Structure 1
Amino acid sequence: MSPVRPEPGMLLVAAPTLLDPNFVDSVVLLLDVNPEGALGVVLNRPSALPVSEVLGEWGDVVEEPEVLFQGGPVSTDGALAVALATPGVEGTVGFQAILDRLGLLDLDTPTELVEGTVDRLRIFAGYAGWGAAQLDDEIAEGAWYVVPALVEDVFRHDTQDLWRDVMRRQPGDLAFHSTRPSDPDLN
């Protein structure tokens, strides 16, 4: 199987060998990939902090659970909103498409302008970032698997088994990893 190139809208799934505590068993949605680097958000790290406590009225708009997700270790005092645009609605204010209807929503946009133009929304505190060629090097080292994303991955209510479920649907040897025990030495 030839390696898949990382592109916006793809997932990075942490390999079992990736032991960085920021990324163990993580699933990252890539938002931007270019020669200067890559940027994404970790999909399976919900916090206990309600969105409404930090971003007021955005708490009424976000997908359940209505909490901030820990998007990554970089700029944790900032927030990124990933949204799914409503089909057939053109020119959603503050929306920048990543892949088809999936994109980033500017949180400076008044919520009343977003009503009816976005079907789903999740907000992430911080992001995961890589410098030029850094992500390619980590993929070559075997730290990440690059796989296609499904919209359901991004807006999943219970993210506890997201890593296993994404791995399970992959072809060949990747699906095998979904059954690995947390600690192979105990096997």
Structure 2
Amino acid sequence: MQGEGRAIGGGRATGSMTGRLLVATPALKDPNFDRTVVLLVAHEPAGALGVVLNRATEVPVADVLGDWSDLAREPAVLFEGGPVQPDSAICVARLRHPTQRARGFQQVSGAVGTLDLSADPGPLRENFAGLRVFAGYSGWGSGQLEQEIEEGSWFVLDALPGDAFVDRPDDLWPMVLRRQGGMMAAVAHFPPDVALN
């Protein structure tokens, strides 16, 4: 699929991919990442870290982080960020204005970044348009993600500011693929189990 839109796949990725989406290809057989969309919140020579955007749980944010729950976008539940350290939490937030600065906010791309949940939410509420909380994360060691991309496990695509905050996260995988157009859009209709086709 190399060359479709702004996708990287089947070739060596160069430079930092922080802020981009990893979209699982049908060739990816790891059940942890089947039909997932991962936002890379960090990518450097030592490795990469991201959160799965489309795996909602049934645990309300209010049950875990009551003070922050009114800023959680619908569905206002915890998300499974990945298989690494599932007892830890990463918060992805969106500033109301991309030029704003806020205490505890680390920019990933544009108005989207990670937010330190140990801060007092009171004075910060007016700065953010919404947030999502992820239990655990997805991680790769040095060169591991690049190898998986080269093997055809992931499409690397541009993220839109609202991707981490969609109301229907289950629809994110086909939605991101369809907006690429061409052959990439056709992948969105790939059956979950080819044997059933």
The two structures have a TM-score, normalised by structure 1, of: 0.94
CA distance in 2, matches of 1:134, 1:104: 23
CA distance in 2, matches of 1:55, 1:141: 39
Aligned to 1:153: 163
- 1:20 and 2:30 equivalent? yes
Deviates more, 1:134-143 or 1:106-115: 106-115
SS in 1 for 2:139: strand
- Opposite residue 130 of structure 2, the aligned amino acid is R
Aligned to 2:47: 37
Aligned to 2:132: 122
- 1:183 and 2:190 equivalent? no
Q: 1:142 aligns with which of 139, 152, 166?
A: 152
Indicate conservation of the 8 Å contact 1:167/1:175, yes or no.
yes
Q: How does 1:102-113 map to 2 (within 5 A)?
A: 102-113=112-123
Q: Percent same amino acid at aligned positions? A: 46
Q: 2:59 aligns with which of 33, 49, 54?
A: 49
Offset at 1:152? Answer: 2.2
Gapped runs of 5+ residues in structure 2?
A: none
Flag the structure with more relative contact order, 1 or 2, with Cα contacts below 8 A and sequence separation at least 6. 2
1:91-125, Cα deviation, whole Å (9 max, x unpaired): 21111111111111100110102111111111111
CA distance in 2, matches of 1:179, 1:130: 28
Offset at 1:88? Answer: 6.3
Indicate conservation of the 8 Å contact 2:105/2:115, yes or no.
yes
Aligned to 1:100: 110
Gapped runs of 5+ residues in structure 1?
A: none
Return closer, same or farther for 1:62/1:180 CA change in 2, 3 Å cut-off.
Answer: same
CA distance in 1, matches of 2:167, 2:89: 19
The two structures have a TM-score, normalised by structure 2, of: 0.90
CA distance in 1, matches of 2:162, 2:94: 11
Aligned to 1:71: 81
- Opposite residue 174 of structure 2, the aligned amino acid is R
- Opposite residue 102 of structure 1, the aligned amino acid is V
